[in-house]
Structure 1
Amino acid sequence: MTSQFSERLNILRAGVLGANDGIVSVAGVVIGVASATNDTWVIFLSGISAILAGAFSMAGGEYVSVSTQKDTEIAATERERRLYETDPKVAKQSLYDHYLAKGECSTAAEVMTNRAFAKNPVKFLVEEKYNLEYESFTNPWKAAISSFLAFSIGALFPMLAVMVAPENLRIPLTMFLVVVSLFLTGYSSAKLGNAPTWPAIRRNIGMGLLTMLATFVIGHVLGAGYIGG
């Protein structure tokens, strides 16, 4: 049950981060393009391109990252298994030393070590020394799919706003919707990480506004130069 909860939490975190990136990056693209042109087709193509590129990039990055984590977990498990099979005394001493390093007294460390080796030595060696769940390896495909879907769903909000809103309200309405979305993802990420909510929300919204402002100014300047030319 604990391993399943941990995996679900990791996937949920990847989803929240993916949605946040989708909101900010695609909002930046469509606002930048919308400030340069009123051509709905151009805005649509730019937004779709940004969604596809970003979603695949997020999924690929998450897959590589989690695969590396999984390889590390497997290697740690195999290392402790080989140590126990090769020299159980050394393995037992390493666990005893680990408990001492954590602040346990020698008596408590000895009792905990003996208890561990009476049950499942390799399991305790892995979980205590590396803070991993024994033989419960992270699934990179689940994390990648979660990031892909979350990025795409998050990106739809600014995309739909800039496409549906009247021309004179496209940018302000898109910015408003993005701020609301960033509030929700900032709050969710803070709660999942047991961190203070308001600092996370402020950072999230602040960086999103800076991104939109920068792309708006650049798009406006380039659009004006294009029209002037």
Structure 2
Amino acid sequence: MRARHRELHRSNRVGWLRAAVLGANDGIVSVAGLVVGVAASGASHNTVLLSGVAGLVAGAMSMAAGEYVSVQSQADTEKADLRQEKQELAEDPHTELAELAHIYVRRGLTPALAHQVAEQLTAHDALGAHARDELGITDTLRARPVQAAMASAAAFTVGALIPLAAVLLVPTKNVGVATIAVTLASLFVSGALAAYAGGAPLLRGALRVGFWGAMAMAASHLIGNLFDVRV
């Protein structure tokens, strides 16, 4: 017996990977920027910590809500397109069959073979064939709002805990520097992990995430210094 051939594809991770990467990086950068900015203003250790915790809670809820609303809009659009396609199949199946065959002709099949393929796929699952080949809707890439919201909120929380750990473990006078160092290191790691999960070059992913995180913290530190409030 021939050994079963296994292939590793990463496209089935797109739904949760994008939300998780966005959530983790946003958690790290947002809370780190908040902590660095408040610490640079001269605030007390408790104020810096409280600001970070508030940023974590508000950010996680915001990420979950934003992802859910965004992906749900995509899901609503997909459902509307599928309803329209279902109606068109019921009202004018011959035109829909010709439309499907024309799609396969544009992809390289001969007209005769394209028509034969369209007939067989229509007999098997007409709506599924049109959803996949005409609308580009597949089970793998279909919008999943709840999954995206949960992945984003959980990843944001995990990411935000990193700069908060620096606040808890480092003396007040060194909080800013320690948070920046820990945050940059974690951003390089998260960028590399995201690149690995998506099959992209590790170094490029790490540098891209680290660069923008550094820019965000630099801007926050500058704003904090401008106010110089002693609490």
TM-score (norm 1): 0.87
Aligned equivalents of 1:45, 1:135: Cα separation in 2? 41
> Aligned residue for 2:99?
94
Mapping 1:158-177, distance limit 5 Å:
158-177=163-182
Q: How does 1:1-229 map to 2 (within 5 A)?
A: 9-133=14-138, 137-223=142-228, 226=229
| Counterpart-to-counterpart distance in 2, 1:52 and 1:165 | 22
Structure 1 stretch 97-106 or stretch 25-34: which is displaced more?
A: 97-106
Separation in structure 1 between the aligned mates of residue 134 and residue 123 of structure 2, nearest angstrom: 17
Number of residue equivalences: 221
Q: Aligned with 1:175: secondary structure?
A: helix
1:122-180 Cα shifts (integer Å, max 9, x gaps): 11111111221269953312211221111111101001102211234322221121112
**Counterpart secondary structure, 1:120:** helix
- Cα deviation, residue 25, structure 1: 0.7
Of 88-97 and 196-205, the range deviating more from structure 2: 196-205
Check the 8 A contact 1:31/1:162 in 2, yes or no: no
Q: Deviations over 1:25-50 (max 9, x none)?
A: 11000011112225111101211221
| 8 Å contact from structure 1 (residues 7, 138) kept in 2 | no
Shift of 1:206: 0.6
Q: Which one is further off, 21-30 or 191-200?
A: 191-200
Check conservation: 2:34, 2:51, Cα contact below 8 A: yes
Shift of 1:109: 1.6
Counterpart-to-counterpart distance in 2, 1:78 and 1:90:
17
Contact 1:126 1:132 in 2 (8 A): yes
Whether the 8 Å contact between 2:98 and 2:115 is mirrored in structure 1 is no
Bigger fraction of residues in helix = 1
Distance change >3 Å, CA 38–CA 195, structure 1 → 2: same
Secondary structure of residue in 2 paired with 1:122: helix
Q: CA deviation at 1:193?
A: 3.6
* CA 1:128–1:22: 2 relative to 1, 3 Å: same
Point out the more displaced range, 12-21 or 165-174: 165-174
Cα pair distance change 1:25/1:17, threshold 3 Å: same
Kept after mapping to 1: 8 A contact 2:14/2:141: no
